[in-house]
Structure 1
Amino acid sequence: MSIENPSARAALDPAVFDSLAAELNLGLVNIRETSGSTNTELATLAASGHAQNLSVYFTEHQQQGKGRLGRGWITPAGSSITVSVLAVPGDSMPTDSLSWYTMLAALAWCQAVDEQTGVAARIKWPNDVLAGDKKICGILAQLVSTPNGFAVVVGTGMNVDQDSAELPVATATSLRLAAGKQVSRSDLLASYLRHFATLDIAFREVRGDATAAMKSFSGVSLAAMVGAKLATLGHQVRVEFPDGSLLEGQAVSLESDGALLVRDGASHTHRVLAGDVHHVRRADGKYA
């Protein structure tokens, strides 16, 4: 484990991760005071063979983070959890199944947030986690080729300790604001990694079939677990595409490949893939 001096604000407890690395059989674990993009750093390590399955790259202050569609993202030091996790499934599942790791990570965060704070977090398709109707977490998954086959780096930024003035937009919040209390970043991150690892094992056991019954979750599939947490379903939504076109309709269901099924006003259904959209917003203007 490589550790630099943590930020003075809400620093992680390295001892937590010493024991966690052994408990979860983590790969390389890096905890950095400052870093560029954690996804880029971990993807580079994975491509060169220096990072193995369940490697973790965390920074107290990310300076060159990227969101969806290449948007820049910088986190105030010590206020968030900025972390990337590497999943190397080898031959346990087809490459197409790796697209589900965005939702798998979102589900793991929902479980961790509920466990540590009591806040009933939900998923906004395709890559955010919400507290109420405000964003607390963004997720970006990146496919990478490693010496052991294709893998996925899943980067997340969870707002933990910000006050209102530190949040970039009015549609965002932090766990401290949502829960009305201080939240231990060390405990929260440890909980997320435990849930991520447990879901990862179960997903591998069904060879990446998101609709298959997972034994360790009482026969419930990953798609069903995600669907139960999906705040987008049942709402009228406005889908914005990169070319400026719009689709308005009701978000009906999550398909087996992770696509969102939207039924328009003429009762026509449309399969919307995450990689093809610019924004998905509720038609009433709310973020969820």
Structure 2
Amino acid sequence: MTPPDAPDSPSGSRWNNLDRPPLNVAGLRRALVREGGLWKSLDVVDATGSTNSDLAGRADSAPEGTVLVAEEQTQGRGRLDRRWSAPARSGLFFSVLLKPGDAVPVERWGWLPLLTGVAVATALSKAAGVDTALKWPNDLLLTVEGEERKAGGILAERVPDGVVVGVGLNVSLRADELPVPTAGSLALAGATTLDRDPLLRAVLRSVEEWYEDWRGAAGDPAGSRLQAAYAAGCSTLGRTVRAELPGGHVLTGEAVAVDGDGRLVIGTADGVQQPVGAGDIVHLRPAG
């Protein structure tokens, strides 16, 4: 792992692109790491394979509230181990370690990636002036040229005594830098700022607020307002979807709700309401 103050990365000098300056590590720590707060430590590395892998590897000894940020990820992973990458300092790539402990039953920990999605969407609305929609279970969507495009994703992985939640968000990517033409970024969505320092501060503060409310409600998604907030921001609901399941099975119907376990409820043509969990889905697409 490259030390936080290392001068170079695989992409060269940290100052090789003045449109994409490095994050201000000292400023982030001053703003976010405080006595009694959730965030206990924050490190920024110039480059790494995957912040989730790095943080999961030391989750045993790291305290809850450990934050690891990378200026560049060379082996970024999405759900089902899908790979993606982006130019150095073009986005926010970070992971956090959460350990709800006995305050929240383990069966409710599956809400953590959905909670993170709500927190990111809330933060971007305030800090960047963009509406962020949530595609169940883990995609962040921004409107670019009148259409919803994936601009980020969330990956949660269980570790002993906790969960590592990773976020990847395209910030300054231009059209010619997109991994696929249907992707998006804050820049392409007309965000009011592309300064990653205030954006990261806003996102982590929002995660802290939602997490503390959820944990204070013993993980109850209704009592913490999380379930209602997720449903309000979820663009999947109300649409006819095609869920591709393991073994080649396909489930088609209207996405009618997100239930108390965080599962997507699909109403089929024969009147059955079938809940499916994130682990049951290979692909979820609009039907037709």
Question: TM-score over 0.5 for the alignment?
Answer: yes
- Number of matched pairs: 270
Runs of 4+ with >4 A deviation:
none
| Contact kept in structure 2, 1:10 and 1:79, CA below 8 Å | no
Letter of the 1:18 counterpart: R
Partner residue, 1:77: 88
Q: How many angstroms apart in 2 are the aligned matches of 1:52 and 1:196?
A: 17
Q: 1:196-232: CA deviations, max 9, x gaps?
A: 00111101111111122x3xxxxxx211111111110
Q: Matched residues in 2 for 1:109 and 1:180: separation?
A: 14
CA contact (8 A) 1:161 1:182 kept: no
1:75 Cα deviation from its structure 2 partner: 2.4
| Structure-1 separation of matches of 2:227 and 2:193 | 32
Matched, 1:33 2:46: yes
* 1:261–1:272 contact (8 Å) kept in structure 2: yes
How far apart are residue 242 of structure 1 and its match?
A: 2.8
Report the counterpart of residue 26 of structure 2 in structure 1. Answer: 15
2:246 is the counterpart of 1:239: no
Instruction: Normalising by structure 1, report the TM-score.
Output: 0.90
Amino acid at match of 1:283: A
Offset at 1:282? Answer: 1.5
State yes or no: 1:126 paired with 2:137. yes
Q: Secondary structure at the match of 1:4?
A: coil
Distance 2:26 2:63 in 1: 21
Task: Give the superposed CA RMSD.
Answer: 1.5
Contact 1:161–1:176 (Cα < 8 Å) also in 2: yes
TM-score scaled by length of structure 2 = 0.90
Q: Per-residue displacement from partner, 1:31-81 (whole Å, max 9, x unpaired)?
A: 00011110011111112x1x2111100000111221111112222111010
Partner of 2:276: 272
Q: Which residue of 222, 225, 238 maps to 1:211?
A: 222
CA contact (8 A) 1:113 1:188 kept: yes
Partners of 1:121 and 1:70 lie apart in 2 by: 24
Pairing 1:145-224 to 2, within 5 Å after superposition: 145=160, 150-179=161-190, 182-212=193-223, 214=224, 221-224=225-228
The counterpart of 2:128, out of the listed 117, 120, 123, is 117
Letter in 1 for 2:137: P
- Identity %, equivalent residues: 38
SS in 1 for 2:230: helix
Deviation at 1:25, TM superposition (A): 4.4
Consecutive unaligned residues of structure 2, counting only runs of 5 or more, are 8-13
Q: Is the 8 A contact 1:39 1:154 kept in 2?
A: yes
Deviations 1:234-284, CA, capped at 9 Å, x for gaps? 011111113222111100000000010001122221111110101111225
